[in-house]
Amino acid sequence: MSPLETEGSSLIKEWSGQVQPALVATLAFLFCLEACLWVRNLRLKRRLPGPFAWPVVGNAMQLGQMPHITFSRLAKKYGNVYQIRLGGSDIVVLNGSKAIREALIEHSTEFAGRPDFVSFKEVSGGNSMTFSNYSKPWKTHRKIAQSTLRAFTSANTQTKKAFEGHIVAEATELVDIFHKLSAGGQYFNPGCDLTVAAANVICALCFGKRYGHDDAEFRTLLGRVEKFGEVVGAGSLVDVMPWLRSFPNPVRTMFLDFVDLNRQYFGFIKSKVVAHRETFDPEVTRGMSDSIIGVIEGNGNTGLTEAHTESTVADLIGAGLDTISTALHWSCLVLAKYPAIQTKLQELIDREVGRARLPTMEDRSALAYLDAFAYEIMRYISFVPVTIPHATTSDVMVDGLLIPKDTVVFVNQSSVNYDPMTWKDPLVFEPSRFLDENGCLDKDLTNNVMIFSAGKRRCIGDQIAKVELFLFLAILIHQCHFENKPSQDLSLNYTYGLTLKPLNYKISAKLRGEFLPG
């Protein structure tokens, strides 16, 4: 044996003597960890069913790119109420109309909480009504926001007409923009302009002003809002595995981007509210901001602060633009994808409204098929697939299973919209399913669509959102004919987030006649 081999042999023996005990200890530790994990999972399964969870990551790797689809698939195996584990958090997932309505409506208080997520604390300076936990101040905060919204959209004929006027103004400008973008046989993606239009309606309500479609600062702001849901959507890994913020990785990068985007968005809203506060006149109400300032800051009995005023406006604008712009974005795609449905809608509007004027809300009862189309967009696309995570405020039983207090709960509301116990042929896009034998809107069936959640956390703007969607669609379909780009396969695939966004597509919007004067 050579000196080198002899030295090498000695080193190996020495190394083996040092490493083997450490290796054995490590293997023993891992075995104990696995055993403890197996016992823990076995104990949990006695309370709630669910898939086996791996160390550290839990079931995170199983969720894939489309968690709501995974949730529905797991429900077929484990039932409509089951438990998963993400990082160090045990999470209950609710599926199906029966279980979800039992939880959110029959036990609304018990499911009104929010988890103590790090991302939630970054929203609207930590005072967000949408993301803060259930409490007495929260109830006061929500009541003020709800009453203010109602006062500016439906409290009386004057405010109702003003609200509808904002929608008409934005819809008619969209028609003009779409016509110009389609000139010379061009095709375009309507997403950005739809977002600006939806944002302008809520900004007109909040600030008494709108922004131009070519306003660079405003479009940049809206681009940030578009990215908002990427982190806040159910299943955000940084919330359930906070240690990911401790070292460089894609999740940490996304979270830091989210923090920066959110602070810029909130800074923009705050600056507008501060300007209103500085010029506030209790005798003159310019928009919802003035009204909220007057109620929260002019009444020392609410227990709320200036920060709650700013966060309320930020919540209203964020929610008011995202849901409507997403619904309109999908609607334009579907109209181009299903030309027979578009033609049927156009013929209905032409017959009931004519070409001499624009549709109004007074025409709604005669345009039941248009309302049905809007509801089918909400049901079929189900573009808010999972609600913002809930947390239980006390122990509660759902579907015969115990869910302990302070449990994080994911509500897969897309499963309600595809529940075969409620919907015939749920995988088929068919607006007529919402019409009764007399051609009227079936209110009982429309109530089964879940896009705005339910119970104490139901979106406070659900009714005005439906008004906006109806009137925008009525005017756009009355004035435009949407056509698909030749050879383009209009896919219904999407990117996942707090709302589902359609993949990039291009259409044209040809005028159906001369643009009507205002």
Give the residue numbers of the binding site for heme: 459
Residue 508 and residue 187 in contact, taking contact as beta carbons nearer than 8 Å = yes
**Look-up of token digits 């300032």:** 293
Q: What share of the chain is helix, strand, coil (3-state, %, to 5)?
A: 60, 10, 30
* Close Cβ partners of 98 (under 8 Å, ≥ 6 residues apart): 80, 399, 421
The two tokens of residue 170 are: 């934005």
Cβ of 270: how many Cβ atoms within 10 Å? Answer: 20
Please state, in angstroms and rounded to a whole number, the distance separating the CA atoms of residues 197 and 505.
19
Residue 477 and residue 349 in contact, taking contact as beta carbons nearer than 8 Å = yes
Please state, in angstroms and rounded to a whole number, the distance separating the CA atoms of residues 230 and 504.
17
Amino acid at site 158: Q
Residue 238 and residue 254 in contact, taking contact as beta carbons nearer than 8 Å = yes
The two tokens of residue 280 are: 């506030």
76: nearest Cα among 412, 446, 397? 412
Cβ of 457: how many Cβ atoms within 10 Å? Answer: 21
Binding residues: 459
**Beta strand segments in 327-400, E:** 390-391, 396-398
**Beta strand segments in 79-188, E:** 81-86, 89-94
- Adjacent-strand bridge partners of 93: 82, 410
313: nearest Cα among 139, 165, 129, 170? 129
Please state, in angstroms and rounded to a whole number, the distance separating the CA atoms of residues 434 and 474.
18
Residue 329 and residue 337 in contact, taking contact as beta carbons nearer than 8 Å = no
